Amino acid sequence: MRALFCVWALVSAGLVWAQSGDEMSLAEAKRMLKGQQQAFVAVAKQVTPSVVYIEVEREQRTGGWSLFPDFDDFFGRSSRRVIETGSGVIMRSDGLIVTNNHIVRGADVCRVRLGDGLLVDGKVLGTDPATDIAVVKVEANNLPALKWGDSDKLQVGEWVIAVGNPFGLERTVTTGIVSAKGRQDLGVLALEDFIQTDAAINPGNSGGALANVDGELVGINSIIYTQSGGSQGIGFAVPSNMARKIVEEIVRNGKVERGWIGFLPLRDNSTGARVYRVYRNEPADSAGLMPGDLIQKYGDKTISSAAQLRKLVVTDKPGSTVTLTVRKQQTGKTETVRVRLGSVPIRDDGTPYPGI
């Protein structure tokens, strides 16, 4: 709270000077700017020790297709080991770390660099591809855990700081504001409710901390909007309240269960979600859904888009029975279909199959 009071007091002092109409002296200006500077220094000192460097190794296939693995080189197909890096945030003093799913998915080896500079082995406890959250555990004690903040209380225009390891530059601190809240329909994840910030976020910042001026975690930095590959002032973080629930479920159950119907939606302007393709032997197939069918309701909720339907489905548990109101392509009639939700299938590389 001290840092927050400092920033508020400095802004108030600036407003008093502006309203008085008097020219601020150089000494007063320095005093004001140094006070603001110290406020950010204090927040950075509190947050930075809790942000870690994560390094993963995974096997990546290259080249063409081969029927006989022993002849991969002949057919131009081979595999190579790749090392990728990102960030994570210590959430418990015994070594529990939250990061992004896209950092650790499909990783054969996961290592974490702690404050002493040593790389230690990390174990991936579980991931949630729908929100890009993952949990890693290292064997350690007395680590500096960061306190969870309440992302619901964030306001557009609030100061935030981002801490991570962009391009491998460990524990880099940048500042900015909350540019927007509740960003959805970016087409990146199945469940989106991003905090948007103009604090500089670059490759390697993924999984790092977005903190408020109280030094609390309010977001897990996840993706950036960029045409250059670097920061363009549009970054997105998973809200802390969403991330916290997912972390707790992973710790409790080892996974997050998400519902699945089993079809690819067609991108069109229809009100509803139109079926493009149906996965064989999945719930949609068993329920008789066909390409061209238009899903108009999920239970008693009217569907306006495929994105809305996806959010409803992934928040329900596998095994749940739901009712779909469907206008059939072949007959033009509206029917009620009961579907027993399955689980989102995951590819070998840890990514979920596309669709709903």
> d(Cα 157, Cα 174) in Å, to the nearest integer?
16
Phi, then psi, of 312 in degrees rounded to 5:
-70, -40
Tokens, residue 23: 């020219």
The question of whether 132 is a catalytic residue gets the answer: yes
Catalytic residue among 128, 132, 198, 293: 132
Number of residues written out for the chain:
356
By C-alpha distance, which of 36, 51, 49 is closest to 3?
36
Task: Kindly state the DSSP code that residue 180 receives in the 8-state scheme.
Answer: E
The question of whether 222 is a catalytic residue gets the answer: no
By C-alpha distance, which of 217, 216, 224, 211 is closest to 183?
224
| 3-class DSSP assignment, residue 45 | helix
Catalytic residue among 50, 87, 206, 231: 206
Tokens, residue 307: 């994105």
Tokens, residue 148: 């969870």
For the four alpha carbons of 57, 63, 67 and 71, in that order, the dihedral sign comes to: negative
The question of whether 316 is a catalytic residue gets the answer: no
Alpha helices in 188-279 (DSSP H): 240-253
> d(Cα 138, Cα 252) in Å, to the nearest integer?
17
Contact 337, 346 (CB under 8 A): no
Catalytic residue among 50, 87, 102, 293: 102
E strands within 72-200? 78-92, 96-100, 109-113, 119-128, 133-138, 159-164, 172-183, 194-197
- Which residues are known to be catalytic? 102, 132, 206
